[in-house]
Amino acid sequence: MPKLKRKKMLLHGAIGDAYGAGFEFAPMEKIRQYNTISRYEQHPIFPEIQGKYTDDTQMSIAIAELLINNIAWTPENIADKFVECFKRDPRRGYAKRFYQFLTEIKDGAELLQKIHPKSERNGAAMRAYPLGILKDELEIKTKCRMQAGITHQTEKAMKAAEAIALTCHFFIHKKGEKDDLGMYLSDIQQYKWNTDWDGEVGVDALQTVEAVLTVLEQETTLTNMLKRSVNFGGDVDTVASLTLAIGSLMPSVQNDLPKFLYDDLENGAYGRDYMRKLDELLFKMSK
């Protein structure tokens, strides 16, 4: 088991993302046969991204950089950062049309001008977890909704993004024990989340959060969290990314992940070491 300190949510989010990408919308036969946490599998459509993270982590990095650099939280600046992160490191994993859209636009202003942000999918939730580092819950909710509104200006998507960021906040700032999380979210959001999800997870924002909360509540090791996330089937890279990012913050959860998940994760300019650096800078903000 790797001797790694806690407080590595971006790194663990990327591991979950890269591992889950090998099973994204894969047939259940493949999941049953190969989801053994023994290697990074090839993506069903893009074999070149084996061992690499997808849009989930790239957009989370964008949120983290905005926070670390204390950039004014405006739609223009958030959109600019999303485009910047894609342009400097184009990668597969984005929805096909959105990938093409990002290749064609030049900056955040053009993104805001041309996008139709009425999606109820999980894109805003998948990137929200770095916001949990903030100390004020109202600030978290406000910033969650603004970043969500760039691409997912719907109540479902915004509520889901809030839930993910607030869950991270709950564990980072020691708001209670794991069993208290459901009541905490219910009190703040005035919404009761289902934590007994069963079956395939689509790209729907609410489904994704309920799958994540189910895994967090019912599993006690990071390896079991990763395996359980993939076993659902469907959009499993997002579920796996979020469960590992959050699970790595939970003191009651054992980190028993095999060493290869760290060693074989990509380590280019924005890879493993870069995320460790971002994690370190992010957690300095929580003190």
**Tens of pLDDT, residues 58-80:** 999 999 999 999 999 999 999 99
Within a domain: 4:
no
60 touches 10 (CB < 8 A): yes
pLDDT in tens, 209-257: 999 999 999 999 999 999 999 999 999 999 999 999 999 999 999 999 9
What's the number of domains the chain is made of?
Answer: 1
Q: Average of pLDDT values for 186-190? A: 97
Q: How sure is the predictor about 1, in pLDDT bands with cuts at 50, 70 and 90?
A: very low
Within a domain: 71:
yes
Separation of alpha carbons 72 and 2, rounded Å: 37
Q: Average of pLDDT values for 178-188? A: 97
Within a domain: 136:
yes
Within a domain: 3:
no
Query: What was the pLDDT predicted at 86?
Result: 98
Separation of alpha carbons 148 and 113, rounded Å: 16
Q: Which two tokens stand for residue 144?
A: 């969650």
pTM value? 0.96
Q: Average of pLDDT values for 38-43? A: 94
Closest to 64 (Cα-Cα) out of 116, 6, 99, 14: 14
Q: How sure is the predictor about 48, in pLDDT bands with cuts at 50, 70 and 90?
A: confident
Within a domain: 1:
no
Q: What CATH number is given to the structural domain containing 241? A: 1.10.4080.10
Q: Could you tell me the residue range of the domain that residue 94 belongs to? A: 9-284
Residue 4 has pLDDT above 50, yes or no: no
Four-point Cα dihedral 57, 59, 86, 239, nearest 10: 40
